[in-house]
Amino acid sequence: MSQFTMEMSITSAPRCTTTLGTRMPSNLQALVPKGHAHALLRDRKEARQPRRLACKATGGRVDRRDVLLGLGSAAAAGLGTRRGRGAIAAPIQAPDLGNCNPPELPNTAPDTNCCPTSGTGITDFVLPPAASSAPLRVRPAAHLVDAGHLAKYERAVALMKQLPADDPRSFEQQWRVHCAYCDGAYDQAGFPDLEIQVHNCWLFFPWHRFYLYFHERILGKLIGDDTFTLPFWNWDAPGGMTVPAMYANTSSPLYNQRRDPAHQPPFPVDLDYNEVDVVVPTDEQIDQNLRIMYRQMVSSAKKTQLFMGQPYRAGDQPDPGAGSMENVPHGTVHTWTGDPAQPNGEDMGNFYSAARDPIFFAHHANIDRLWHVWRGLRPGNADFADADWLDAAFLFYDEEARLVRVRVRDCLDLAAMGYAYQDVGLPWLEAKPAKRSGATPAPAAGALPATLGETVRVTVTRPQVSRSSKEKEEAEEVLIIEGIEVADHFNKFIKFDVLVNEPESGGDGASGYCAGSVALTPHMVRTNEKKGSVKTVARFGVCDLMDNIGADGDKTVVVSLVPRCGGELVTVGGVSVGYAK
């Protein structure tokens, strides 16, 4: 581990101990920022010239990728925010759609081509004209949609599915877009044979926001209704914790046969899904889901990097690290929905096929909503200010079948994009875990690096203990799981829980001892090293956890890595504690 490992700071840092209210404002539109200052200007021409950093450290030369893994988001906080001569990074640029590498899918997958129509004549995205008198388009909760909205949605999807297969607005082309950006089809501009991957990094939220935006606009155009909106699957609230009825109607164009037949309504979703259906009373499942949501949205998400994912710049290897929501419940809901009888969990259970299921868009609309909600939960919750995030670019087709280049900075204001979300309340804000103390932790057993064929418990030293309230406000304690490598990740869901001072009686992902989970949805990987191998790092904010389990004064803790799915394919290099400012 390099000398940089403990350094994890980021601009616009939320405070660790800010008291949370139990209710949100009655109108979520109030949370929409009224404008994002473009505070960071830079020379775009220079930004497109990726640079490498070399520095001295124990063991010799360190390249920029190694430094970023060690620094966490230090580059985001300082090195990457002010561009000029000697800058070390650059934003991910929009790919060349004509240079698409069809993923080498395994023989068990159907013969398919994930490369969308290439197209020419790129236009830069322009936000729709502001109209003070025009109301925002409101995306409704799927379980609350009225008959009129449902009829529009079904007609729009039916028309999209009827378009010629080579029409970039067609349903087939739409799902290919997700496959291409998520399964190694595109090279990074300037870095041949180095893939673009929009998951497991800070691009996850903005890329999917744009993807839904254009999908929604195309649907509206097909039915001649520019007020049309996609519904969101409200799985974070009791009323929405089943597959919405509109997607379970076998005669509807929203229906998909490749879903788990055991998970049809009224079976409640398990946000901590481990590929095993543990039948518990519905009220108990709801309570567990709400505790998961509180952890992922509140206690483990107090810093931008912890919620949104790690920096990913031009020249970087993919998968630097997912944020809290991308791991759980994003990954777990994907797998819970997909059909386990299919060889690769198709459709929702594998990235290459996920967007073939219309429910994908409702799932991600809720993810998009929760990004919006997170920014309003605490005064310090803010997006990255890093120019390499703001200027990251992608290509999509709009409702006129025009090829449009978008940049992250263009999607940060929902009101400017013309839409909002129905206010359905946030019941998980009241699901704070109870204090736990007095339990005897299971003894450490094992050493790292190790394969997670079974639970591995290691003793981890905490550099600082019993910090003052001010110190905790300034820096979140972060548990870092380093050197995660997953072999042959195409057809196997990977999940392991990370527990601190797990009692001898055991614990699970919803227990008060869980820092979080690593949950990786299968996808194709294209690297210059081991083919199909994912390498990543996981980070969990644990200020609240240490307090709740009575470990704030402990100089060491026992960290348990508990495999739930595919542990035999996972190796972990080490566990350490750092601090995010």
Q: Mean pLDDT check: name the lowest of 32-46, 176-190, 311-325, 530-544.
A: 32-46
Whether 34 is in a domain gets the answer no
Using DSSP's 3-state secondary structure scheme, residue 139 falls into strand
Boundary residue ending a domain (402, 430, 458): 430
Banded model confidence at residue 13, pLDDT cuts 50, 70, 90: very low
pLDDT at 445: 84
CB 442 within 8 A of CB 560: yes
| Total Cβ atoms within 10 A of residue 247 | 21
Annotated catalytic residue within 143, 263, 364, 489: 364
Tokens representing 539?
A: 């980070």
pLDDT number for residue 336? 98
The catalytic position among 143, 215, 263, 330 is 330
Q: Which residue has the higher pLDDT, 162 or 436?
A: 162
Convert 520-544 to b/e letters by CB count within 10 Å (16 or more is b). Answer: bbbbbbbbeeeebbbbbbbbbbbbb
Q: In this structure, is residue 64 part of a structural domain?
A: no
Cα gap 189→5, rounded to integer Å: 29
The reply to whether 99 falls in a domain is: no
In a domain, 28, yes or no: no
The dihedrals phi and psi of 422, each to the nearest 5 degrees, come to -60, 140
Please tell me whether residues 281 and 159 are part of one structural domain.
yes
State whether 373 and 305 are in the same domain.
yes
* Chain segment 191-218, per-residue pLDDT in tens: 988 999 999 999 999 999 999 999 999 9
Residue 178 falls in the annotated catalytic set: yes
| 456 shares a domain with 410 | no
CA 334-340-341 angle, 5° bins: 145
Among the listed residues 199, 263, 489, 523, the single catalytic one is 199
Find the domain containing 276 and state its range: 123-430
Mind listing the pLDDT tens digit for each residue in 249-270? Answer: 999 999 999 999 999 999 999 9
Average pLDDT over residues 234-244: 98
Active site residue: 263, 334, 363, 372, which one? Answer: 334
Q: Quick check: is 386 in a domain?
A: yes
CATH no. for residue 400? 1.10.1280.10
How does DSSP assign 426-495, residue by residue?
A: -GGGG-PPPP--SPPBPPPB--SSEE-SS-EEEEEE-S--S--HHHHHH-EEEEEEEEEEESS-SS--EE
| Chain segment 306-324, per-residue pLDDT in tens | 999 999 999 999 999 999 9
Is 199 known to be catalytic?
A: yes
Q: Are residues 237 and 306 in the same domain?
A: yes
Residue 483 reports pLDDT greater than 70: yes
| One domain, residues 471 and 556 | yes
203 three-class SS:
coil
Q: Same structural domain for residues 421 and 463?
A: no
Write down the pTM of the prediction. Answer: 0.85
CA distance 272 to 348: 16
- Count of domains observed in the chain: 2
CB proximity list for 34: less than 8 A, separation 6 or greater: 413, 415
Residues 248 and 382 in one domain: yes
User: Active site includes 215?
Assistant: no
What is the reported pLDDT for 134? 78
Q: Are residues 413 and 490 in the same domain?
A: no
Burial (CB count within 10 angstroms: exposed 0-12, middle 13-18, buried 19+), residue 287: middle
The verdict on whether omega for the bond into residue 449 sits within 30 degrees of 0, i.e. cis, is: yes
Question: Catalytic annotation on 38?
Answer: no
- pLDDT score of 504: 81
**271 or 531, which is more confident:** 271
Binding residues for Cu cation: 178, 199, 208, 330, 334, 364
Q: Is the pLDDT of residue 1 over 60?
A: no
- Residue 424 belongs to some domain of the structure: yes
pLDDT at 505: 73
* Phi (first) and psi of residue 574, to 5 degrees: -175, 170
The single-letter DSSP state of residue 23 is: S
Residue 78 in tokens: 């300082």
For residue 89, what pLDDT band results from cuts at 50, 70 and 90?
low
Report percent pLDDT > 90 for the chain: 71
| In a shared domain, residues 332 and 282 | yes
Residue 425 and residue 307 share a domain: yes
pLDDT tens-place string over residues 493-543: 999 999 999 988 766 666 789 999 999 999 887 655 445 689 999 999 999
Catalytic residue among 125, 210, 228, 351: 351
Residue 43 lies in a domain: no
Mean per-residue pLDDT, 403-425: 97
3-state DSSP of 336-350 = HHECCCCCCCCCCCC
Catalytic, 523? Answer no
- Say if residue 478 is in the same domain as residue 410: no
**236 and 172 both lie in a single domain:** yes
Mean pLDDT of the residues in the chain: 84
CATH number (domain holding residue 532): 2.60.120
Residue 83 pLDDT > 80: no
Q: Of 171, 204, 205, 208, which one is the catalytic site residue?
A: 208
pLDDT of residue 105 exceeding 90: no
Find the catalytic residue in 143, 178, 215, 372: 178
For β-strands 191-195 and 187-188, DSSP reports them as antiparallel
Q: Note whether residue 572 is domain-resident.
A: yes
pLDDT tier at 438, thresholds 50, 70, 90: low
Q: Which has the minimum average pLDDT: 58-72, 133-147, 406-420?
A: 58-72
Nearest to 526 by CA among 317, 314, 315: 317
